[in-house]
Each structure stands twice: as C-alpha cells, then as structure tokens.
Structure 1
Amino acid sequence: MNNTTLNRKAYKYALKLQMRKQYPATIIGAGKSYFKKVERSQPISPLILTNKLREKLISIGDLFSKQNGNFIGCCSEVNAANYVLLKLPYLNLNEIIFSPAIRPRTMQKIPTCKNCQITFS
C-alpha cells in the first residue's frame, strides 16, 4: 500500500473537520493492501470491536478505563484499525499500517500513545 496515499487521506480529513470546526483529539489513517480507513478518536462500540483487538486492549486494562494517560479503546488508531480488521480478519495487529496521527484543531502531528504502542507493536 502506498503510505503517501494514506497520509494524504488523513490530512484531508483533518482539514475537513477543521473547516467544520469539529475538533476530535486526533484522527489517523489505517490500512493494509487496498483497505484504508481514516477515523477520529472516540469510544469504540464494544458491539463492533473485533475479538483480536478486544483481547489485546483488555490485556492493557478494562475498556474505557484510563491507563498510561489515555482511555483504552478510544483512540483513533483503535477505531481505524478495527475497520481494517473487519475487512481483513487474518491480519495481525502489527501488520496494520498507520498514517501519523493529526490533531485537527492545530493540524499538528501527535505521537502515538503508550496504549496504542502496546496494542499495535
């Protein structure tokens, strides 16, 4: 997959949110092969969370509890990766490719949180 395409999609989505004055903490693009998804940070519905991702998140702590400074299951990485895993369930979590996380309010690149580093490493 062309990572430049994923980065561009994430940047355009962040600009679109900024123009609408919608400011989630972060947005990120995730993908593998031709499946790409750009998502925002927000609590993920436990009803759509893939088992593979749920098990990894629960190994860190309870869903939606604060751990390492962030709430488990609320990151844009989790939301975007879940979409990719729904389409490509055979993938390992560390095979998902991510764009840099962007904060739409400032358009700054944001480092990956500790929970996501653990989840997707």
Structure 2
Amino acid sequence: MRKDLRKDLRKLVRKAIRVNSRDIENLDKEVFLKCKTIAKHIKRNKISLEEAIKLPAVIIGGLLWNKRKIGITRFLKPPIAPKLEKALNKVGVIGKKVGENTVGKCAEVDCANYLLLNCRSNYEVSDIKFSTPYRPRTSEIIETCENCKKTFI
C-alpha cells in the first residue's frame, strides 16, 4: 500500500477515537458513522485485506457520568483502574487467552479503563454504558466476547 494511503488510514482511526456525543444513542451513531468512513476509505482506495487487517479489530463507545470515550482493540497498558483489574482477574489473567480472546485486549476494556481512571466519583465497572461494537474496516456489528460479557454485564 502507498505510504500516503497508510497515513490517511491512520489519521481516520485517530479521528474515530475523538468523541462528540453526550448520550449513548448519539454515541452509537457516531461510532457507526466513523467506521463507515473508514470502510469507504478502504474500498475507495482499494486497500488490501492484509493492510486493512492491521486496523483495530473493534471500536466501541462508552459513557460514564459526564465522561465519554471511544475505545479500540489493543493491549491494556498501565495504569489500570483497580475495579477494572479486579473484574478482569475474575475472568482470567490479564494478557492471557481465555476462550477465543485475550483478557484485557478488548475495545470495551480500553474504554472502561479510561473512564474509570478519569471519573472522580466511586463508579463500578457495571455502571459504564457501551455503544454497539463495530468492526472499523467493514462497519459490521461485532458480538461482545464472552470475556467482556463476564466483566461488564
């Protein structure tokens, strides 16, 4: 893939994680539209699947009180919110595979960690509201993994 196309794609992903919406319904629409923009860019520029697969697998929005965040699939980095760490440790060891997924590598976890670390009140992991999870390169809805179901529901 041409270097300028790769750069444009990275810019789109960075833009996708900026949030404007203040409620879960609008956040869901915002996440979907950002994924649709990425998918159109891939199609319009004939970006190969092998290049597109380097994008985050999932993108999701989350709200907690007055904070909002769009999270992407990536490994969880310190600092880790204590309540999130406790919830994840009930599922398995952070960074190790449980079932089909790695504990702590989901977009929900990326989102939740930011929200829990940046909200001053005493919120629980279960208080976070999530949008629908989408695959950025195709805009398709992705089912929440079993690890996240156990962690957040």
- Structure 2-normalised TM-score? 0.71
Q: Pick one of 67, 70, 90 that aligns with 1:35.
A: 67
Query: Is 1:106 matched up with 2:127?
Result: no
Report how many residues are paired. Answer: 120
Structure 1: runs of 5 or more not aligned: none
Measured in 2, the distance between the counterparts of 1:6 and 1:91 equals: 20
What does 1:44-83 correspond to in 2, within 5 Å? 44-45=76-77, 47-83=78-114
Distance, in Å, in 2 between the alignment partners of 1:78 and 1:27 is 11
Identity of aligned residues (%): 30
RMSD of aligned Cα (Å): 1.8
**CA–CA distance in structure 2, aligned partners of residues 94 and 83 of structure 1:** 14
SS in 1 for 2:94: coil
CA distance in 1, matches of 2:69, 2:30: 9
Greater C-alpha Rg: 2
Consecutive unaligned residues of structure 2, counting only runs of 5 or more, are 1-21, 43-51
Kindly indicate whether structure 1 or structure 2 has the higher relative contact order, using CA contacts under 8 Å at least 6 residues apart: 1
Contact persistence 1:70–1:115 (CA under 8 A): yes
SS in 2 for 1:103: coil
> Which residue matches 2:29?
8
Partner of 1:87: 118
Paired residue type of 2:126: N
